[in-house]
Amino acid sequence: MLSNGNIWLGTSSQGPVELLPSMANRHGLIAGATGTGKTVTLQVLAEGFSQLGVPVFMADVKGDLAGICSPGQGSSKIDSRLATCGVEHFPFRACPVTFWDVYGEKGHPVRTTVSEMGPLLLARMLGLNETQTGVLHIIFRIADDEGMLLLDLKDVKAMLAYVGENAARYTLDYGNVAKATVGAIQRAIAILEDQGGNQFFGEPGLDLADWLVQDEDGHGMVNILAAEKLFRKPAMYSTFLLWMLGELYELLPEQGDSELPRMVFFFDEAHLLFDDCSKTLLERIEQVVRLIRSKGVGVYFITQSPTDVPSSVLGQLSGRVQHALRAFTPQEQKVVRAVAQTFRVNPEFDTEAALTQLATGEALISFLQHDGTPGIVQKATILPPQSQIGMITDELRKTFMETDAIGEKYDVPFDRESAYELLSAQFVQTGAKQTQVVRPVAAQVEEVPVDAQVQAGEPVQPVQSYQPMTFRVYNPATGQYEEQVMSTLQQPVYQQPVQQPVQTAYQQPAQQAQPVYQQAPSYPVPVPAAEPQQPAAPAVQEEAKPAKKPAKKPSEMTAAEKYLNSFLNSATTGAGREVGRQISRSILGIFGIGSSKKK
């Protein structure tokens, strides 16, 4: 709610607590435990900026910020809050809203290209280590040097395969690229694709200038990112927000100090921005937060505890709205004590004690004054929002999406010629998909019915024919997919064979003359004389083999037989072969065999 051109956020014992619009680009922090009223505070601030004509962006991770598009309704609870805050005139009103969604389900699709994202943020989204991030930088560098666009994930996969196969060619100029590292990045991309990465990377890319608009009444557009589904992928959610912040920093020109900020960002669940954040990325975030103030952009982080934000970033946040903190452990008590020391002391109450005693809807507030000094901390009751609190129906959301003009620009994706199209011929094994058939065209082929009884008695012969089909084929000249008609082989059509004229009379073929053979003369055949038969030799009977003597028992053996039996057993086993050889040498030596050396 506005009061004398300022955003009236709450009321303390000393009067209204207001945020000066000229100090809004000094950034801020809204913190507090779950259920203490952070979402209502965010909504009241967003309404105030919109009424001032300042565009707003905020991520809706729970779905309860969408109600800002609809006017609120009075209730006994709201009336009691207004009486506590001393508000006499409180009109309910809505704000102009545009809904966005990375997945295109609860808002217009939000896309960007891989090149715009950059290797640093893409590595964070993929969860790469330092070595893998370095290889990803090489991939981007090679793509730029060879004029290959990286628009979506299939372009990155094609470039990875291309550089991996030609690693020896690029090692001296760009650095070592190991195939194992390339494979690890490919696996990370596959995981990102399962999380919806193919919907996020592509064209048309988001033009952030479409967020810097006002409605016909001069109110700033409130851009709400439906993040209920995206929030379940923390790396993708946080990287997307960091990319938007970086894009604004590069897009907007210098503005300096002005009466109104150019745009305000609200980042809910800000701790996700800094979890597992590399040193390089953290330095970039600090630089953007520090310098984007001069571009006229205010950034407000929403989180449960101020300790979720790194101290280097926390020091840049001048506006503070601190809801209740819970201190049930010694560590939490230290946090409460540290947070209390960051406020400018108010002699009317103990700041440290008040932090744990604040009720829902109450907060400790400190904003910058006209001279830029922090204001004395105030214990205030937050005003209710003028718009609806909570979720909206799917029908109302759909109505907003269908009636705004921005959908015509982003709802239909397209695919330009990029690295994938240029390298697909060389990397068919990476998974290039065949051109999709749109619809078949009715075949203009006259089929001849098959008749099993053909007059000539010959079998029916199949005839191959071709059927026209319509395909979508990419045209590099226009940068679009066009429909072309091609001929494809269809099922064989059976036709009747050409019948030969039937003969009217049967003519018997002329008989060929058979050759005449002369009979050979007969000669007397000599008969050999019979040989005298020898008397048969008597049958030789085989001698009966002597019966095998049964083996003696160990108790019946002599000492020599036991010694010999032990020798045979040890010599035939693998374990005792060497022992057996030594024993055999000793026995043979007794008889003078094989023991003497050659002289």
Show the beta-strand stretches assigned E in 25-182.
28-31, 56-60, 97-101, 108-109
CA distance 185 to 193: 12
For the domain made up of 2-110+207-404, the CATH class stated in words is alpha beta
For tokens 């193919």, name the residue.
Answer: 198
CA distance between the termini of the chain? 122
Of 97, 1, 5, the closest CA to residue 55 belongs to 97
Domain residue ranges of the chain, discontinuous segments joined by +: 2-110+207-404, 114-196, 556-590
**Can you give the pLDDT of all 599 residues of the chain as single tens digits?**
898 899 999 999 999 999 999 999 999 999 999 899 999 999 999 999 999 999 999 999 988 999 999 999 989 999 999 999 999 899 999 999 999 999 999 999 999 999 999 999 999 999 999 999 999 999 999 999 999 999 999 999 999 999 999 999 999 999 999 999 999 999 999 999 998 899 999 999 999 889 999 999 999 999 999 999 998 888 888 888 889 888 888 888 888 778 999 999 999 888 888 887 778 888 888 888 888 989 999 999 999 999 889 988 998 999 999 999 988 888 889 999 999 999 999 999 999 999 999 999 999 999 999 999 999 999 999 999 999 999 999 999 999 999 888 888 999 999 998 999 888 765 454 444 433 333 333 334 444 444 544 444 555 554 444 455 554 555 555 656 566 655 444 444 444 444 555 444 444 445 544 544 444 444 444 444 444 455 444 444 545 555 555 666 666 666 666 666 665 565 455 545 565 566 666 665 665 655 444 44
Residues 6+ apart with CB under 8 A from 30: 38, 41, 42, 300, 301, 302, 303, 321, 323
CA distance 81 to 494: 86
Residue 205 Rama label (left phi>0; alpha psi -120 to 50; beta): beta
Give φ, ψ of 493 to 5 degrees: -105, 130
Coil, strand or helix at 511: coil
CA distance 304 to 319: 16
CA distance 325 to 364: 11
CA distance 401 to 394: 11
Q: What pTM does this model have?
A: 0.69
Contact 20, 6 (CB under 8 A): yes
Q: Per-residue DSSP letters for 537-592?
A: PPPPPPPPPPPPPPPPPGGG--HHHHHHHHHHHHHHSSTTHHHHHHHHHHHHHHTT
Task: Look at the chain and count its residues.
Answer: 599
Contact 41, 385 (CB under 8 A): no
Burial class (CB in 10 A: 0-12, 13-18, 19+), 342: middle
